[in-house]
A and B are shown apart, each in its own frame.
Chain A
Amino acid sequence: MWNWIQRFSSPKHFYSMSAPLINVFAISALLIGIYGLYLGLFVAPTDYQQGESYRIIFIHVPAAWMSLFIYMVMAISSGIGIIWQIRLADMVAAASAPIGASFAFLALVTGALWGKPMWGAYWVWDARLTSELILLFLYLGYMALQSAIDDQRSADKASGLLAIVGVVNIPIIHYSVEWWNTLHQGATVAKFDKPSMHIDMLIPLMLMALAFKLFYGALVLVRTRNEALYRDRNRRWVRELIEKL
């Protein structure tokens, strides 16, 4: 079993196996994204309270969900890297950070653009917004630690610990709308009750969330392959591969 994991998680093996998956993820993300956008912008009805402004939801919520999901991927693979010293896991974590940061940024700016017409302000120091901003800073902190430390193993350990400690922020983001009296609206989808959302709005939202997830899948593969090439730059498999290019 252990041998099998070791072999399966070798960067060389990953590099050769991952190439065809990139296109599968990218093409399905594109198709599902286009269909989700069509349903969201043309088919979904107007919201009775928020008018057309609510259509920001189809990018704002998937971006926010992805910022949480990618953080968990980053923290869990950092943990695997630290405990079992699987190098591929550290590469996945390092590859995920900039993607997650971009989604956290997107969630914040689209949220500001939605907040202005609905709340009258681009930004308020509300629990949901503040904890999401901290998430962005955690991503940036991870990336700063990665690039500040020259020795790769130390860099992975330091930034990985930061990622793991930062997991405490994830339930705070999720439950902030319940624990505090926030301006941000409560959960409409991720709750135990039935989602309190019209099905014609819910379907495009779910499609967009799936498209974002598949897009992340393609991106993390490409970035992890880059990490593998860079970190194994002095190993034979990379040398042989580069000489063929």
Chain B
Amino acid sequence: MNWSEFFHMGGYAFFVWTSYALTLIVIVANIVAPIIQRKKVIARIKRAIKRENIETANAEKQ
């Protein structure tokens, strides 16, 4: 079996390779999405900590 035969998939190339490409997309999206989610959560908590620190500092001044 040579490579062009392999990519041809017996005439079913479009269906087979579209399936595999979509699978790759779903896998990559499943990896990327929780990484972005984690960054967002951490950024949000950091903002909250900063805000609270400013508020306590202001409260002490008054």
Chain A residues within CB distance 8 Å of chain B: 41-42, 46, 51-53, 55-56, 59-60, 63, 98-99, 102-103, 105-106, 109-110, 113-114, 116-117, 215, 219, 222-223, 225-226, 229-230, 233, 238-239, 242-243, 245
Contacts and interface: CB of A to CB of B under 8 A. Distances in A.
B41 A106 contact: no
B26 A106 contact: yes
B38 A51 contact: no
A239 B38 contact: no
Contacts of B15: 53, 56, 113-114, 116-117
B9 to A, nearest CB: 4
Contacts of A42: 1, 6
A230 B38 CA distance: 9
Among A52, A103, A105: residue with most chain B CB under 10 A: A52
Interface of B: 1, 6, 9-12, 15-16, 18-20, 22-23, 26-27, 29-31, 33-35, 37-38, 41-42, 44-46, 48-49
Contact of A55 (B9, B31, B38, B49): B9
Contacts of A53: 9-10, 12, 15-16
27 contacts: A51-B12, A52-B9, A52-B10, A52-B12, A52-B16, A53-B12, A53-B15, A53-B16, A56-B15, A63-B23, A99-B30, A102-B26, A105-B26, A106-B22, A106-B26, A109-B19, A109-B22, A110-B23, A113-B18, A219-B31, A222-B38, A226-B37, A230-B41, A238-B45, A239-B49, A242-B46, A242-B49
B16 A55 contact: yes
A60 B23 CA distance: 9
B contacts with A: majority SS: helix
A55 B20 CA distance: 10
Contacts of B44: 230, 233
Contacts of A233: 41, 44-45, 48
B20 A59 contact: yes
B19 A59 contact: yes
Contacts of A242: 42, 45-46, 49
Contact of A223 (B11, B12, B20, B37): B37
Contacts of A51: 10-12
A229 B33 contact: no
Contacts of B27: 215
Nearest to B38: A226
Nearest to A238: B45
A116 B29 CA distance: 26
B19 A60 contact: yes
Nearest to B23: A59
A238 B46 CA distance: 10
